[in-house]
Chains A and B, each alone.
Chain A
Amino acid sequence: MDKLIYMDNAATTATRPEVVEAMMPYFSQYYGNPSSLYALAEDSRTAIDKARDIITDSIGAEQYVTNTGTRDHKKYDIYFTAGGTEADNWAIISTAEAYESKGKHIITSAIEHHAVLHACQYLQKRGWDVTYLGVDSDGVIDLDELESAIRDDTVLVSIMFANNEIGTLQPVREIGAITKKHGVLFHTDAVQAYCQVPINVDELGIDMMSASAHKLYGPKGIGFLYIRKGLKTKSFIHGGAQERKRRAGTENVPGIVGFGKAVEIGMATMAARLENETALRNRLIDRITSEIDYVQLNGPRENRLPGNANFVFRFIESETILLDLNQLGICASSGSACTSGSLDPSHVLLACGIPHEYANGSVRLTLGHANTQEEVDFVVDSLKEIVEKWRLRSPLYEDFIKKQKKGAQ
């Protein structure tokens, strides 16, 4: 195949052409600063309002209306940020500060994205206490453990909706019920899940939610934090009065417009994408686990993001596989793109109890709307050859085979 095969949609996605098209006028034509008075600025404001409405409706957030029955754009619970990381940092750090008088305890999980983990570590250095819940071998938290970890001084529980490496979906509804019962706020990092699986913040009991546009065929550099009405929070970015004085800085108007368009398409196509990606993912998992020896699927078989598959190929290190895949025009990753500069094995796989020596051999393939069965088959066939080739060059495999022969005698 001469064409690029992109199977790293959890890292980022290709921006849809319709999204780019929707964004274009907001660079040089409707470039007004939304905070300005003149009519040109009104175009920018209207565009932001429209995008925010689409996003508000996509997660079942409260729709504010005016006395005349039209949408009230002065009130909203969706706050645009520069991306998922800012939204996570804001939700954790500013909420902790806003509720400091109630207590200084936060509960999260060991498999969160570093945007959550490092924000928690930042607070720990400043006197907060953080409980990191463990996960089972599939990467799911224990609800009893969560409930018993809640203390009088607990102010926030932050558990991701779906994991970025192994795709595990957490029991969000149950977490929402537990936090509500104990009067504790619930934040979820939904960067991987938003627009991939249905989310309704009221039904699931979510108080705060982070999302990012570039994971759902939107542009990079734009995300949002949903903050339920009535919740205290402090500004995370200080300056002007944008976003109801909660997030300063001139709005990224083209980014916001693109995000709105991506969500509009994302919601309209979700059911079809979910079905298609689940089928392709299952084919990928079925073929790899049945046609390659000594391979392990990381994360649950079913309860995972539709497009996520993550494997350990024993006796081989990930990078050799990824470099060979790259030679064939296949984009894959070993885990989170955010940690690929690090030599340490994934904290997610280690938390799932996967030994260090296996965790070094993980390969993540994440499908998107553009992937085809032909591509899946090509990737599987390529992996079979690559794995066989590198095993013959692996001293670990040599030892393993010799040991097996000895055992058989």
Chain B
Amino acid sequence: MYSEKVMDHFQNPRNVGEIENASGVGTVGNAKCGDIMRIYLDIDDSGIIRDVKFKTFGCGAAVATSSMATELVKGKTVQEALEITNQAVMEALDGLPSQKVHCSLLAEEAIHAALWDYAEKHNIKIEGLEKPKSDVGEHEEEEEY
């Protein structure tokens, strides 16, 4: 079902974890649809992404696309990171099954959301970046099982 690259990134996800006091954090997706991605960016004063981490709730493709997306933005400038599309993420993974393409869109959105958070925190405007949709959470969280 999945390519070797997808399975590799699923089994050995790169950059998994959190960054304390991150420059920007973006969370996209919702638990109802089955995928949530959170990306943490550490961006230096010259606007270069020094470090990136992620956490994902989702299927194998969601994990692999998050992992690959973090690999693609690491060391890049903010502007370069903004230009990374879901298509690029998918190609880097040697493709995804058709019903899993939405996972790669989520990875692109997660990067954008983290960049938006960074821009807001630092009072800067990133050309071409739009405000991300927010609709996250495990809605029934209060309920205990």
Q: A393-B16, A395-B38, A395-B55 are in contact. Are A357 and B31 (CB under 8 A)?
A: yes
The residues of B that contact A294 with a CB separation of less than 8 Å are 145
Report the minimal beta-carbon distance from B46 to chain A, rounded to whole angstroms.
29
- The 8 Å CB contact of A395, one of B36, B60, B99, is B36
Question: A327 touching B55 by the CB < 8 A rule?
Answer: no
Contact B99 A396 (CB under 8 A): no
Contact of B139 among A296, A355, A394, A399 (CB under 8 A): A355
A397 to B38 CA separation, bound complex (whole angstroms): 12
A343 an interface residue at 8 Å Cβ cutoff? Answer: yes
A315-B57, A395-B57 as given contacts; A357 in contact with B38, CB under 8 Å: no
Beyond the given A355-B139, A395-B56, A396-B36, please list 11 additional residue pairs across the A-B interface where CB-CB is below 8 A.
A295-B145, A320-B10, A320-B59, A320-B60, A345-B34, A357-B32, A393-B55, A395-B27, A395-B55, A398-B55, A403-B141
Given A341-B99, A395-B38, does the pair A355, B145 have CB atoms closer than 8 Å? no
Residue contact B56 to A394, C-beta cutoff 8 Å: yes
- B140 located at the interface, meaning its Cβ lies under 8 Å from any Cβ of chain A in the complex: yes
B residues 25-62 touching A (CB-CB < 8 Å):
27, 31-32, 34-38, 55-60, 62
Per-position binary interface string of chain A over residues 253-287, scored 1 when its CB falls under 8 Å from any chain B CB and 0 otherwise? 00000000000000000000000000000000000
Chain B residues whose C-beta falls within 8 Å of the C-beta of A398 in the assembled complex? 18, 38, 55
Q: Does B24 contact A (CB under 8 A)?
A: no
Q: Closest residue to A295 on the B side, CB-wise?
A: B145
The reply to whether the CB of B63 lies closer than 8 angstroms to some CB of chain A is: yes
Whether A396 pairs with B138 at a CB distance below 8 angstroms is: yes
Per the bound structure, the CA–CA distance linking A291 and B81 in Å amounts to: 42
Which residues of the other chain, B, contact A327 by a CB distance below 8 angstroms?
Answer: 11
A292 to chain B, nearest CB (A): 12
Give me 23 A-to-B residue pairs in the complex whose CB atoms sit less than 8 angstroms apart, sorted by A's number. A312-B145, A317-B58, A317-B59, A320-B58, A320-B60, A320-B63, A323-B10, A341-B99, A345-B34, A355-B139, A357-B31, A357-B140, A360-B34, A393-B56, A395-B38, A396-B57, A397-B57, A398-B18, A398-B38, A398-B55, A399-B141, A400-B138, A403-B141
Given contacts A343-B34, A395-B36, contact A355 B140 (CB under 8 A): yes
Q: Nearest Cβ in chain B — how far from A191, in angstroms?
A: 26
Nearest A residue to B61 via CB reads A319
Given the complex of chains A and B, what is the CA–CA distance between A355 and B145 in angstroms?
A: 12
Task: Give 1 or 0 for each of A347-371: 1 = CB within 8 Å of chain B CB.
Answer: 0000000011110100000000000
Determine the residue in chain A with the shortest Cβ distance to B34. Answer: A360
Chain A interface (Cβ < 8 Å from any Cβ of B): 294-296, 312, 314-317, 319-320, 323, 327, 341, 343, 345, 355-358, 360, 393-400, 403
B11 contacts which chain A residues (CB < 8 A)?
Answer: 327
Cα A90 to Cα B44 with chains together (Å):
68
Residues on the B chain within 8 Å of A355, using CB: 139-140, 143
Across the interface, B57 reaches (CB within 8 A) one of A316, A323, A356, A403, namely A316
Q: Closest A-chain residue to B11, C-beta based? A: A327
Q: In whole angstroms, how far apart are the Cα atoms of A282 and B57 in the complex?
A: 29
Q: Could you tell me the distance between the alpha carbons of A397 and B35 in the complex, rounded to whole angstroms? A: 13
Cα distance, A357 to B32, chains bound together (Å): 5
Q: Which residues of A contact B31 (CB under 8 A)?
A: 356-357, 360, 396
9 closest A-B pairs (Cβ-Cβ)?
A: A357-B31, A319-B59, A395-B38, A356-B32, A395-B55, A355-B140, A296-B145, A360-B34, A394-B57
Complex alpha-carbon distance, A283 and B113, angstroms? 45
- In the assembled complex, the Cα of A84 lies from the Cα of B139 at a distance in Å of 38
Q: Which residues of B contact A345 (CB under 8 A)?
A: 34
Contacts of B143 in A (CB 8 A): 355
* Cα distance, A294 to B123, chains bound together (Å): 40
Q: Mark B57-74, 1 if CB is under 8 A from A, else 0.
A: 111101100000000000
| C-alpha gap A357/B7 in the complex (Å) | 24
Rounded to whole Å, the gap between the CB of B111 and the closest CB of chain A is 15
Smallest CB-CB separation from B25: which chain A residue?
A: A395
Q: Is the CB–CB distance between B36 and A393 below 8 Å?
A: no
Assess the B62–A317 pair: CB atoms within 8 A.
yes
Residues of chain A lying within 8 A (CB to CB) of residue B140: 355, 357-358
* B37 proximity list for chain A (CB < 8 A): 395
Across the interface, which residues of B come within 8 angstroms of A358, CB to CB?
140, 145
On chain B, the residues within 8 Å of A395 by CB distance are 27, 36-38, 55-57
Interface centre among A355, A357, A399, A403 (most CB of B within 10 A): A357
CB-defined contacts of A295 to chain B, threshold 8 Å: 145
Contacts of B137 in A (CB 8 A): 399
B59 A357 Cβ-Cβ under 8 A: no
